[in-house]
Every structure is written in C-alpha cells, then in structure tokens.
Amino acid sequence: MSLPILHTSTPRPRVPDTQLGFGQVFTDHMLLMDYTLETGWHQARIEPYGPFLLEPSTIVFHYGQAIFDGLKAFRTPADDVVLFRPQRHLRRLNTSAARLCIPPLDEAFTLAALKELVRLDADWVPRTSGCSLYIRPTLIATDPALGVHPARTYRFFVIMSPVGAYYPEGFKPVKILVEDRYVRAVNGGLGAAKTPANYAASLLAAEEAKAQGFTQVLWLDGIAHRYIEEVGSMNIFFVIDEELVTPPLEGSILDGVTRDSVITLAHSWGIRVAERRIGIDDILAAHGAGNLTEVFGTGTAAVISPICELFYKGHTIVINNRKVGPMTQKIYDTLTSIQQGIMPDYFGWMVPISR
Ligand SMILES: *Cc1c(COP(=O)(O)O)cnc(C)c1O
C-alpha cells in the first residue's frame, strides 16, 4: 500500500481523560485522499492535523454535497487498540456516497489506510475506562465553481478525537420531545444517508426542544406525522410486552451500526425483536395499558441512551418510573464490554490494530 506519512513536528496539546468531552480535541495526524474524474481516488496520505485551504467558491459550501460517518477505537485491558465494526461503517459511507452522487471509495484500501492512521496516533486512544477515540471520515465536493451539478473533484479526510466517558456519573436517562411540527426526512429524501443536510434540517427543532427542557426530539414520519422514525443522531428502541421494537429501514432513517448490533445481541439472547412501523398512538396505547416498559436510543457516541420521558402534544409519558430498565442496562453493559475487550468478541465485530 502506498501511503506516505508526513509526521508532525509539533505534537498537539493533550487534555486529561476526565476533561475530554466530545469532539473538542484532535490527534496529531489526519488521513487525506483526493479524487478527480481523470485519475479517480489518488494520493492517499497522512499529514499533520491542520486546516486546509479551499476557495470560497468550493461547491460543498454552497450545495452541501458532503457525507460523513463516525466510528470508534477502544483500548483493551491488554493494551491493544481495536476498531468497532469499521467495515460496516465504511460500507455505509459508500451507501451515503451513492445517494449524494459522490464516487465510492475502495473499502479495503480505506480500511487499511484508516488502520495505519490509528496505529500512528495510537497513543491518543484513551486509557481511562469508558473513554474512546472517535473517528470521523468525511467526504466533500471540492470543485471551485458555482454550477449545480455533481462535482468532478472530491476530498476524503479522516480526523480523530479522543472522547470522554459519555456517562461519567452513571447512566443518565433523558427527556425527549416528540416532534409534531418539523420533519427531518421523507422516503425518497436524504434520511438514510449520513449527510450534513439532515443535521442542518434538525437544528431548529432541537433548539426549540432544548429551550423547553428536553434533550432531543423524536422525529415522526414526514407525511402522516404519526410513525416513529429516530431521535437526533440515534435510532430508537421500545420494549413492549417483552418484545424489542424498532422502526424498519424504509429509506427515511439511518441504518445505525449500533442499531444492528443491538438487534444481533437481542436475537442471540432469544429476545423477540420486531422491525416494524409503530405509531405514536401505539406508544400511547401501550403506555396506557402498562406494556411499554423501556425506551432507549442507540448511536456510536452514547452507545445506549435510556429515555425516561416522552412528551407528545401535552401528554407526558413516563417510562419505568424514570429508571433504567433491565434490558437497556444489559444491552449497554454487554455492548460496551465487547467494545472495550472486557467480554469476548462473540460476533467478530472488533478489528485489532496491530502494533
Ligand atoms: C449516525 C446516526 C445514527 C446512529 O448510527 P450509528 O451507526 O449507530 O452510530 C442514527 N441516526 C442518525 C441520523 C445518524 O446520523
């Protein structure tokens, strides 16, 4: 593999694990690769982390032709560094690329280059339990011209950020507003792609929800404003009658890697799992009948985010007396233990970075 490395001469400042937060601190190096119509993807290289120059006319600034993904590396008790399901994240990056007319990456090469980057900055993978290295592959259109059409030039880059424990004081269940005015995506739109446009579309709703004391919004479908979709940057699961229920992948929500991992875990335990459409009215009815016992979100950043309260059109749905339910806890404990190399990698999810 041809991957020139330009080593940094000025190591970046370190922050103690307890003060990391999310996405504030970046490692010494980044991975870059460029695309032109003539040569395809070329010039993969590792350079010191730092700004790059783009003309103000660069197409991504104007029309948002961009995608990204997010995955994590962990340090095991044996001091090895492991990636969680990187192949699936890179496959999803290419799925997002296809929706935004972005040329696909060679997944095997990109994984090898990514591993090289993580190996180079391996000392940045935190040693404190619960902390990890968040990895952000990003792909932007770089033509310096204002015509509306798919670009002919692109840049792929990967930056990495050590992140703190999501729950330094233990699990904290959150309150969620069920959004009945704004919508995030519709079938046929961009909902299934990890693209900045979806986040831009969600900001106003999230800000208004925060002003009312909620952590995030739960999106309903864009047409009937009835079917549950997902939460902010997380997929959502309900435990109803001991069954794990989550909305199906029909084009308007993201195919979360954590979502898939939770379904796989639940199946392995013999828990019934249903990927089916579920209306907010069904949730209210299940809650009224006492059958809705747990609700949680899933995503790479938090892994599992227990939800203790849903607010919908004046109704407050309190879940499990605002306490974390047993299935939520067991899934969180198992998934995070597999990721950190504390439990065996039953499903072949972890990819070690050789030293
Ligand atoms: C990234 C993301 C998720 C979670 O996906 P993971 O692969 O589990 O991190 C869910 N919804 C949206 C909108 C996202 O962008």
For residue 292 the two structure tokens come to 């809705």
In short, whether 220's Cβ falls inside 6 Å of ligand 1 is no
Q: Identify whether the C-beta of residue 151 lies closer than 8 Å to the C-beta of residue 59.
A: yes
- How far does the centroid of ligand 1 lie from the alpha carbon of residue 202, in Å? 14
Average pLDDT over every residue of 52-58: 97
319-330 pLDDT, tens digit each: 999 999 999 999
The residue whose CA is least distant from atom 13 of ligand 1 is: 233
The residue whose CA is least distant from atom 14 of ligand 1 is: 233
Quick one: 185 and 83 in the same domain? no
Domain end marker among 146, 164, 182: 164
The residue whose CA is least distant from atom 4 of ligand 1 is: 299
Determine, yes or no, domain membership for 27: yes
**Contacts (Cβ under 8 Å, ≥6 apart) of 334:** 265, 343
| Residue of 287, 333, 334, 343 whose CA lies nearest to 310 | 287
Quick one: 108 and 203 in the same domain? no
- Testing ligand 1's pocket by substitution, the residue of 183, 254, 349 carrying the most ligand atoms inside 8 A of its CB is 254
Quick one: 155 and 195 in the same domain? no
Considering only the C-alpha atoms of the chain, give the largest distance between any 2 of them, rounded to a whole number of Å: 64
The residue whose CA is least distant from atom 15 of ligand 1 is: 233
Determine, yes or no, domain membership for 305: yes
Quick one: 181 and 86 in the same domain? no
In short, whether 299's Cβ falls inside 6 Å of ligand 1 is yes
Model pTM greater than 0.95? Answer: yes
pLDDT at 355 over 90: no
What is the CATH classification number for the domain harbouring 43?
3.30.470.10
- Testing ligand 1's pocket by substitution, the residue of 68, 216, 300 carrying the most ligand atoms inside 8 A of its CB is 300
In short, whether 194's Cβ falls inside 6 Å of ligand 1 is yes
- How far does the centroid of ligand 1 lie from the alpha carbon of residue 234, in Å? 5
Determine, yes or no, domain membership for 352: no
pLDDT of 167: 81
165-183 pLDDT, tens digit each: 888 777 889 999 999 999 9
- The share of the chain scoring above pLDDT 70, in percent, equals 100
What is the CATH classification number for the domain harbouring 288?
3.20.10.10
pLDDT of 258: 98
Quick one: 234 and 208 in the same domain? yes
| Residue of 338, 353, 342, 301 whose CA lies nearest to 123 | 353
pLDDT of 169: 72
The whole-angstrom separation of Cα 14 and Cα 194 is 30
- How far does the centroid of ligand 1 lie from the alpha carbon of residue 299, in Å? 5
Phi–psi pair at 305, nearest 5 degrees: -125, 105
In short, whether 121's Cβ falls inside 6 Å of ligand 1 is no
Quick one: 156 and 186 in the same domain? no
Give residue 91's pLDDT band: very low, low, confident or very high (50, 70, 90): very high
In short, whether 72's Cβ falls inside 6 Å of ligand 1 is no
For residue 220 the two structure tokens come to 């309903």
191-205 pLDDT, tens digit each: 999 999 999 999 999
Give me the domain span that covers residue 295. Answer: 174-339
Determine, yes or no, domain membership for 178: yes
Q: What's the total number of domains in the chain? A: 2
The residue whose CA is least distant from atom 2 of ligand 1 is: 233
Determine, yes or no, domain membership for 349: no
Quick one: 92 and 234 in the same domain? no
**Contacts (Cβ under 8 Å, ≥6 apart) of 269:** none
Determine, yes or no, domain membership for 350: no
The residue whose CA is least distant from atom 5 of ligand 1 is: 256
Quick one: 36 and 94 in the same domain? yes
Quick one: 278 and 195 in the same domain? yes
The residue whose CA is least distant from atom 12 of ligand 1 is: 233
Quick one: 51 and 190 in the same domain? no
| Residue of 125, 135, 133, 139 whose CA lies nearest to 159 | 135
Reduced to 3 states, what is the DSSP secondary structure of residue 237?
Answer: strand
Quick one: 232 and 255 in the same domain? yes
**Contacts (Cβ under 8 Å, ≥6 apart) of 198:** 184, 185, 190, 191
Quick one: 186 and 128 in the same domain? no
Determine, yes or no, domain membership for 9: no
Which residue blocks in the chain are alpha helix, DSSP H? 59-63, 86-99, 107-120, 196-211, 257-268, 280-288, 326-339
Give residue 313's pLDDT band: very low, low, confident or very high (50, 70, 90): very high
Domain end marker among 111, 139, 164: 164
7-50 pLDDT, tens digit each: 999 999 999 999 999 999 999 999 999 999 999 999 999 999 99
Determine, yes or no, domain membership for 154: yes
Domain end marker among 137, 164, 191: 164
